[in-house]
Amino acid sequence: MPVVTITARAPRITSLHVFCAVLVLAILARPLITEAASAPALRTAATVFVAVCVQALPFLVFGVLLSGVIAAFVSPAALRRMLPAHPGAAVPVAGAAGLVLPGCECASVPVARRLIGQGVPDAAALTFLLAAPAVNPIVLVATAVAFPGEPRMVLARFLGSLATACVMGWLWQRAGRAEWIADRARRGTPRRDGENRWAVLAETARHDLVSAGGFLVLGAVAAAALSVLVPPEWMDALAGQLLLAIVVMAVLAVVLALCSEADAFVAASLSMLPLLPRLVFLVVGPAVDVKLIALQAGTFGRAFAARFAPATFVVAILCACAAGALVL
Amino acid sequence: MRRETQHVLLVLLGGALLRIAADDTHLRYVKPSHRWLLLAAGAVIVALAVVALVRDLRGHAPADDHDHGGSHVPWLLLAPVLVIALVAPPALGADSVNRAGARNAVVQDGDVFPPLPADPVLTVAEFVQRAAWDTSGSLDGREVTLTGFAVRRGAAVELARLTIACCAADARPNRVRLVGDLGDPPQDTWLRVRGSVQTGSATAATGYVPAMTVAAVEVVDAPPDPYEY
């Protein structure tokens, strides 16, 4: 009998125990960690890592709060009334809605997920996901400030990004499959009768923050590592080669994972390149980068990210080139 | 990850944001105006965790918590907390400048600049701008004061400062080649130098890095805001 009691009361190791163990270990090993982090390259990477996390977290918090507000206060029926019934027409409306969410790309992922959970057509929600970080007023003003004397750059960026968002929306509507998006993203908020709406808001926001935050950190790790690994000589070798410059700038936009409010300043500083590759950098960056891919994989599932990210990459390059040919 | 672990993690994460926004630490990573966003975000994160904790204790925990056992990704949120608490990496410095290649990344935003005041103190970025583009020659023959950190390029010493738009990930260096009797400042030493530009030294051929003839140099403490904006 006593034996049974002992097994029944044997302590289970839970994540809280592991958590405390990790903390204690980290504090004990602090001298070792500081020693290891004193190499210049590692220190630079650590600074960039913290900078990307610290820069993006407030916008992610803003996004999850908005997601909570939608879950608690906006019913699926009200959302359906706001959008045109025909999904093809809903896509450009969703793209235009991106104009009014002033934030970085991190804010738009949880919001797009919540829109899908509340029954908005996938194509429209994905268009919003791509348009919101790229065409909002803050980003456009930042672009105008970064490119003094080149106002056409602002128009080209606006057209290229809006076109990318709408084309991806229509593409998803024609070729996308509902099952590519993980079930967990579709789950609406279970609303129990009589439950306080503020409690729904808080729980939705908390849940979204925990699930998306880890992926944001993953993206920040990738961006920090690549920021010390990408050789700067790439830039100097590109000056005379337009096609190669376009491809390299598109890849750089993905690996550097800059905030959409800041990328224009970096693009402006690469003055050895012509305007078109820099426009590609500005259109690709807010649509697809390593931290967005990580966030999307975590929110919508890996099957989604594996298809959506490469398709967006190609569409964004093509739309940017078209907008550049038209405007620049 | 269990709910209570998530709550503790969120309190630590929000606490880390509040901690770096409480003093000048956040200036190593983001621009000064970002401080208010950090304070707000930190407060919201802590509040969300506390609300959930209180509701759980009162028995309101959602019955269908579908994340149980599934994902280990939330653990990654511990990484920024630990890096901030244990390492608190310094602002970007000479290593980052050297990684950016040998050129100054300059954007021309004018070709006539307003005249300098008496005894001018300039940012490194403005000095480079004027040296590279100003056709009115406002820098010529004028002694100006610059503050930045030392970057060693072989035997040469450069004075550099990074400019950020949002956060340290988008930092762009501006540098000035120092000519004269400087002593032997190690890399990343903060210097205040007084000197005058060598006219015509910031051209495409030199990568828009102007040269400065130094009249006086002193070692100073690192400023609280290490970047220019």
pLDDT higher than threshold 80 for residue A48: yes
> Are the CB atoms for B164 and B227 separated by under 8 Å?
yes
A190 chain-B contacts, CB cut-off 8 A: 62, 64
* Rounded CA separation A283/A139 (Å): 11
- A281 within a domain of the structure (yes/no): yes
- A205 within a domain of the structure (yes/no): yes
**Shortest Cα distance from B173 to chain A (angstroms)?**
10
Partner-chain contact A206 B10, CB within 8 Å:
yes
Whether the CA torsion B86, B227, A49, B23 is positive or negative: it is: positive
Instruction: Tell which A residues from 132 to 161 touch B, by Cβ distance under 8 Å.
Output: 142, 146-149
Choosing among A33, A52, A55, which should be mutated to test the B contact, i.e. which has the most B CBs within 10 A? A55
Instruction: Tell which A residues from 16 to 45 touch B, by Cβ distance under 8 Å.
Output: 16, 19, 22, 26-27, 30, 33-34, 37, 40-41, 43-44
pTM listed for this prediction = 0.84
**Shortest Cα distance from A248 to chain B (angstroms)?**
16
> Are the CB atoms for A220 and A258 separated by under 8 Å?
no
Partner-chain contact A214 B76, CB within 8 Å:
yes
Counted across chains A and B, CB pairs separated by less than 8 A come out at 216
Scanning every residue of chain A, which has its alpha carbon at the shortest distance from the alpha carbon of B109?
A148
Partner-chain contact B107 A271, CB within 8 Å:
yes
Q: What is the ipTM for the molecules in this complex?
A: 0.92
Instruction: Quote the tokens at residue A253.
Output: 């936009």
pLDDT class of B190 with cuts at 50, 70, 90: very high
- A92 within a domain of the structure (yes/no): yes
pLDDT higher than threshold 50 for residue A178: yes
- Provide the residue count of chain B: 229
Instruction: Quote the tokens at residue A169.
Output: 């929306």
pLDDT higher than threshold 60 for residue A327: yes
Query: Rounded to the nearest 5°, which phi and psi values hold at B65?
Result: -80, 100
pLDDT at residue A1 in the model: 44
B62 chain-A contacts, CB cut-off 8 A: 190, 203
Domain that holds residue A221: 43-327
- A18 within a domain of the structure (yes/no): no
Section B101-106 average pLDDT: 78
* Rounded CA separation B191/B115 (Å): 25
Helix/strand/coil (H, E, C) string of chain B?
CCHHHHHHHHHHHHHHHHHHHHCHHHHHCECCCHHHHHHHHHHHHHHHHHHHHHHHHCCCCCCCCCCCCCCCHHHHHHHHHHHHHHHCCCCCCHHHHHHCCCCCCCCCCCCCCCCCCCCCECCHHHHHHHHHHCCCCCCCCCCEEEEEEEEEECCEEEEEEEECCCEHHHCEEEEEEEECCCCCCCCCCEEEEEEEECCCCCCHHHCCCCEEEEEEEEECCCCCCCCEC
How many of the other CB atoms lie within 10 Å of CB of B227? 21
* Paired strand residues for A8: none
Range list for CATH 2.40.50.140 in chain B: 94-219
Domain total of chain A: 1
Query: In terms of CATH, what superfamily is B94-219?
Result: Nucleic acid-binding proteins (2.40.50.140)
pLDDT higher than threshold 50 for residue A105: yes
Residue A206 near chain B (CB below 8 Å): yes
pLDDT class of A5 with cuts at 50, 70, 90: very low
pLDDT higher than threshold 50 for residue A28: yes
Compare A316 and A62 and report the one with higher pLDDT: A316
Section B30-47 average pLDDT: 94
Section B114-122 average pLDDT: 87
pLDDT at residue B84 in the model: 92
Per the prediction, chain A carries an average pLDDT of 83
pLDDT class of A242 with cuts at 50, 70, 90: confident
- CA dist B111 to A10, A152, B114, B134, Å? 77, 20, 10, 5
Partner-chain contact B169 A209, CB within 8 Å:
no
Nearest to A278 by CA among A264, A257, A291, A262: A264
Instruction: Quote the tokens at residue A170.
Output: 């229509």
- A37 within a domain of the structure (yes/no): no
pLDDT at residue B61 in the model: 67
pLDDT class of B194 with cuts at 50, 70, 90: very high
- A31 within a domain of the structure (yes/no): no
What are the pLDDT digits (tens) for A228-238? 887 766 766 77
- A9 within a domain of the structure (yes/no): no
